[in-house]
Amino acid sequence: MNAATSESPRNFDGARHPHNIVVGVCGGIAAFKACQLVREFTEGGDQVRVIPTNSALQFVGAATFEALSGNPVSTSVFEDVHEVAHVRYGQEADGIVIAPATADFLARVAAGRADDLLAATVLVATCPVVIAPAMHTEMWNNPATQANVATLRERGIVVLNPAVGRLTGKDSGAGRLPDPSHIAAVARTVFSGASMEHNLTGVNVLISAGGTQEVIDPVRFIGNHSSGRQGFALAEIAVQRGATVTLVAANNSTLPNPPGVKVIPVETTVELQHAMHNQAEGADVIIMAAAVADFRPAKPAEHKMKKSQGDAGLSTIELVENPDVLASLVEARAGGSLAAETVIMGFAAETGDDKQSILEYAQDKLQSKGCDVLMCNEVGPGKVFGQTTNQGFLLDSDGTVTEVAAGSKHVVSAQIWDKLALLL
């Protein structure tokens, strides 16, 4: 390897998430989802204290939160006064996540109020605070709410974008509480020290994720082990940092759509290539995180192939080469159909062998693909594909190599976005 290693990795460690988590719950129909959120943390080994508002208890009873968290629940600063609870919970917390947060609660925190136990806890806390709002679209879009959100973000509180979809009544729009697994993943990323700085506002991002599948016949395909988690996490972190994100998702039906992200489902490499080129205009950053099948059956069968067909059927499948989507995007930029400033990033899934190390293969790949940045990671049994953690190296076209420390795919995504933000 002839490149100089630049920055030393920050102390990201997916396993080092904090142990004292306060889950705040406000009064909205989505309060029931807080039960699942509490579970996400307790099952991850965290100690959870639930602090609901009085209105939250109209939707979910204290007994439910007590049973799920294993800790008593109170809403008022006048309970457990001898323990000075309104100060202690905030001081002792390693992380606070409030889900759902109502428009009223956002206003109270923005104004610095301390009129119930939850607001007082937030006012005292010096740990990271993540707020997941849920409300009707009109309330979310109201300039007062938006001003409160902007104020909280300026103060370093991470306010998640609500999901778009069916709301309490017959209406639908922006305002749904995101899936609890998404809230927990983003909160853990923030608690681990990763940057969630809102520094991607106005940036258009296009990401591919998942693994393409090439049809052999109506029941069979050629595919790979990619889960799509890394591409989805890149999209989730980018949108929470202010970007406008389009995600071309290859065969990811098991992952929930990231809130606030336009998702275009595809199956094959050719479909993925069309979708990427259709969406690429105006993109500031394009990331090819998808694991793309290099070859596809030359003649997919219309009917299920039979074992008895012998060589004419399943035992010999003629393949043709798929387009190289990443290289074609680089070519489109060189040809002027994409803006010259578009930053294009690829991934290199390598195993290394007795001829070259994974980094040497990645250097070759960076040059042959012509992209600006390449995330190189080692794949193999139990590594990367299908896993929830990742690590590797970011290679720059100027020869810089930056280590990406091990962590959840969200934590790794935050490090990647730190790097990409510097290139924009």
Does 325 belong to an annotated binding site?
Answer: yes
Contact status: 149 vs ligand CTP (CB under 6 A): no
Using DSSP, state whether 366 is helix, strand or coil. Answer: helix
Contact status: 275 vs ligand CTP (CB under 6 A): no
Using CB under 6 A, count the residues that bind ligand CTP: 15
Rounded Cα distance, 300 and 313, in Å:
11
Using DSSP, state whether 257 is helix, strand or coil. Answer: coil
Give Rg (Cα) of the chain: 24
3-state secondary structure 52-120: ECCCHHHHCCHHHHHHHHCCCCCCCCCCCHHHCHHHHHHHHCCEEEEEEECHHHHHHHHCCCCCCHHHH
Contact status: 248 vs ligand CTP (CB under 6 A): no
Closest to ligand CTP by CB, 315 vs 351, is: 351
Q: Answer yes or no: are the C-beta atoms of 417 and 199 closer than 8 Å.
A: no
* Binding segment (CB under 6 A) for ligand CTP, from list 71-79, 213-221, 228-236, 286-294: 286-294
Rounded Cα distance, 41 and 52, in Å:
16
409-423 and 180-191 helices, crossing angle to 10°:
70
Among 77, 348, 359, 416, binds ligand CTP (CB under 6 A): 348
Q: Confirm whether 224 is a catalytic residue.
A: yes
Rounded Cα distance, 225 and 362, in Å:
20
Contact status: 325 vs ligand CTP (CB under 6 A): yes
Burial class (CB in 10 A: 0-12, 13-18, 19+), 363: buried
Closest to ligand CTP by CB, 129 vs 216, is: 216
**Minimum distance, C-beta of residue 371 to ligand CTP, in the bound complex (Å):** 8
> Pattern 81-100, binding to ligand CTP, x per CB under 6 A?
--------------------
Does 369 belong to an annotated binding site?
Answer: yes
Does 324 belong to an annotated binding site?
Answer: yes
Q: Which is catalytic among the residues 148, 224, 322, 390?
A: 224
Nearest C-alpha neighbor of 57 from the set 40, 73, 69: 73
Does 304 belong to an annotated binding site?
Answer: yes
Closest to ligand CTP by CB, 89 vs 347, is: 347
**Minimum distance, C-beta of residue 219 to ligand CTP, in the bound complex (Å):** 24
Cβ neighbors of 316 (< 8 A, separation 6 or more) are none
Contact status: 191 vs ligand CTP (CB under 6 A): no
Using DSSP, state whether 287 is helix, strand or coil. Answer: strand
Closest to ligand CTP by CB, 39 vs 277, is: 277
Closest to ligand CTP by CB, 102 vs 208, is: 208
Q: Distance of CA 109 to CAs 115, 136, 138, 242, Å?
A: 10, 19, 20, 21
Contact status: 249 vs ligand CTP (CB under 6 A): no
Using DSSP, state whether 15 is helix, strand or coil. Answer: coil
Closest to ligand CTP by CB, 149 vs 326, is: 326
- Tokens representing 138 are 């009109």
Contact status: 209 vs ligand CTP (CB under 6 A): no
Contact status: 347 vs ligand CTP (CB under 6 A): yes
* Binding segment (CB under 6 A) for ligand CTP, from list 39-47, 87-95, 345-353, 404-412: 345-353
Rounded Cα distance, 295 and 162, in Å:
39
Among 346, 359, 377, 390, binds ligand CTP (CB under 6 A): 346
Footprint of ligand CTP (CB under 6 A):
269, 288, 290, 292, 294, 322, 324-326, 346-349, 365, 369
Active site residue ranges: 224
Binding site listing: 294, 304, 323-326, 347, 365, 369
Binding site listing for CTP: 294, 304, 323-326, 347, 365, 369
